[in-house]
C-alpha cells in the first residue's frame, strides 16, 4: 500500500522515474517505424499524437516484465509513464494500472481510481479510454452507493471529450454484470453530444445492453430517445436489430 500511496504524491521518486525511463527505453528498443506509421494513420483524430511503434501484445509483455521485476505495485512506474508524450508509454501505464487494480484490495483500488481521475488529461485518446475506464472507474463504482456514482455525471458534462468518453465507457463494467440503469442515465446526458467519438461509444454501449441484457431492455431507452439521437449514435445502437427494425428506426417510424 505504501508504494500505491507514493504514486499520488506531488513528486515522483527518482527510483520510480529511472524505472519508468528504462521501460520507455525498452519500448524504443522494440519499436518499429512501420507500426508507428500505421498507428499514426489509424488515430487520425489526434494529429499531434506521437507513436513509438509498439503493438498491444508487446506492451502487455513489457507490463508483465515490469510487475515481475519490481517488488511494489508498479504504480510508481505507471505515473511517470502516464505523463509521457508517447502514446505507447501512456498505454503501458494504463495496462499497469488495470493489472494492479484487478488484484488489489479495496484501499489500493481507491488509490488507483483517484490516481486515474486526477490524471485524466493524459488519458487522451479513444483507445486509452476504452482499455481502462470500465476496469478502473466502472470497477471501482460497481459496489458504491448511488451518490458516489454522480462522478459519472460530472465526467459526462465535462468540456474535455475524453472525460465524457470515460463516463459512458465506465458503464461497460455494469453492463457485463447485467445492470443498465447507469448506462441509460449517462447516455441521456450525452444524447446531444456533437462529437462522433462520443456518439459512437454511446451507441456501442446501448448495443451492448441489447446484446448482454436483452433487446427489449435496450428498446425501452431507444423508443423514448431515438428521434433525438445523432445519426451516428443511432446507427451504432441499432446494429444488432433486424433489417426491418433498423429501417423503421432510421425512418422515424417506431
Residue 87 is predicted with a pLDDT of: 97
Q: For 3-17, 31-45, 129-143, which range has the lowest pLDDT when averaged over its residues?
A: 3-17
Residues in Cβ contact with 118 at an 8 Å cutoff, skipping those fewer than 6 apart: 8
HEC assignment per residue over 177-197: CCCCHHHHHHHHHCCCCCCHH
CB neighbour burial string for 92-107, b if at least 16 within 10 angstroms, e if fewer? bbbbbbbbbbeebeee
To which H or E segment does residue 227 belong? none
* Count of positions (residues) in the chain: 254
Residues in Cβ contact with 83 at an 8 Å cutoff, skipping those fewer than 6 apart: 119, 122
What is the per-residue pLDDT across 29-55, written as a single tens digit (0 to 9) for each? 999 999 999 988 888 777 789 999 999
Long-range contacts of 40-43 (CB under 8 A, 24+ apart): 43/87, 43/125, 43/127
The count of other CB atoms within 10 Å of the CB of residue 197 is: 16
Residue 108 is predicted with a pLDDT of: 93
Tally the C-alpha atoms within 13 A of residue 209's C-alpha that lie toward its C-beta. 28
Cell digits of residue 144:
458504491
What is the per-residue pLDDT across 58-83, written as a single tens digit (0 to 9) for each? 999 888 888 776 555 568 889 999 99
Residues in Cβ contact with 198 at an 8 Å cutoff, skipping those fewer than 6 apart: 161, 164, 165, 168, 190
Extended beta strands in 147-186, E state: none
Give the CATH number of domain 132-254.
1.25.10.90
Tally the C-alpha atoms within 13 A of residue 89's C-alpha that lie toward its C-beta. 25
Residue 16 is predicted with a pLDDT of: 65
The residues of the chain that CATH labels 1.25.10.90 are 132-254
What is the per-residue pLDDT across 165-202, written as a single tens digit (0 to 9) for each? 999 999 999 999 999 999 999 999 999 999 999 999 99
Average confidence (pLDDT) over 205-226: 98
The SS3 assignment for 86 reads strand
The SS3 assignment for 213 reads coil
Average confidence (pLDDT) over 143-169: 94
The CA distance from 79 to 240, in Å, is 39
What is the per-residue pLDDT across 77-123, written as a single tens digit (0 to 9) for each? 899 999 999 999 999 999 999 999 999 999 999 999 999 999 999 99
pTM metric for this prediction: 0.90
The answer to whether the CB of 119 falls within 8 A of the CB of 93 is no
Indicate if the pLDDT at residue 133 is higher than 80.
yes
Amino acid at each position: 500500500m505504501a508504494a500505491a500511496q507514493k504514486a499520488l504524491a506531488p513528486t515522483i521518486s527518482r527510483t520510480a522515474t529511472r524505472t519508468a525511463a528504462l521501460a520507455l527505453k525498452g519500448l524504443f528498443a522494440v519499436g518499429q517505424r512501420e507500426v508507428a506509421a500505421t498507428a499514426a494513420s489509424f488515430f487520425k483524430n489526434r494529429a499531434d499524437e506521437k507513436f513509438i511503434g509498439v503493438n498491444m501484445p508487446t506492451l502487455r509483455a513489457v507490463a508483465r516484465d515490469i510487475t515481475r521485476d519490481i517488488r511494489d505495485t508498479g504504480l510508481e512506474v505507471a505515473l511517470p509513464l502516464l505523463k509521457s508524450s508517447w502514446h505507447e508509454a501512456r498505454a503501458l501505464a494504463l495496462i499497469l494500472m488495470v493489472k494492479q487494480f484487478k488484484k488489489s484490495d479495496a484501499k489500493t483500488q481507491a488509490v488507483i481510481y483517484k490516481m486515474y481521475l486526477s490524471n485524466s488529461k493524459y488519458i487522451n485518446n479513444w483507445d486509452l479510454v476504452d482499455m481502462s475506464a470500465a476496469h478502473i472507474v466502472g470497477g471501482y463504482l460497481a459496489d458504491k452507493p448511488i451518490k458516489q456514482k454522480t462522478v459519472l455525471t460530472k465526467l459526462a458534462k465535462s468540456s474535455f471529450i475524453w472525460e465524457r468518453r470515460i463516463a459512458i465507457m465506465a458503464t461497460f463494467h455494469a453492463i457485463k454484470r447485467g445492470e443498465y440503469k447507469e448506462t441509460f442515465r449517462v447516455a441521456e446526458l450525452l444524447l446531444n453530444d456533437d462529437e462522433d467519438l462520443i456518439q459512437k461509444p454511446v451507441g456501442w454501449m446501448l448495443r451492448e445492453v441489447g446484446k448482454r441484457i436483452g433487446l427489449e431492455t435496450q428498446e425501452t431507452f431507444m423508443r423514448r430517445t431515438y428521434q433525438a439521437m445523432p445519426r451516428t449514435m443511432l446507427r451504432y445502437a441499432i446494429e444488432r436489430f433486424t433489417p426491418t427494425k433498423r429501417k423503421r428506426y432510421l425512418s422515424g417510424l417506431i
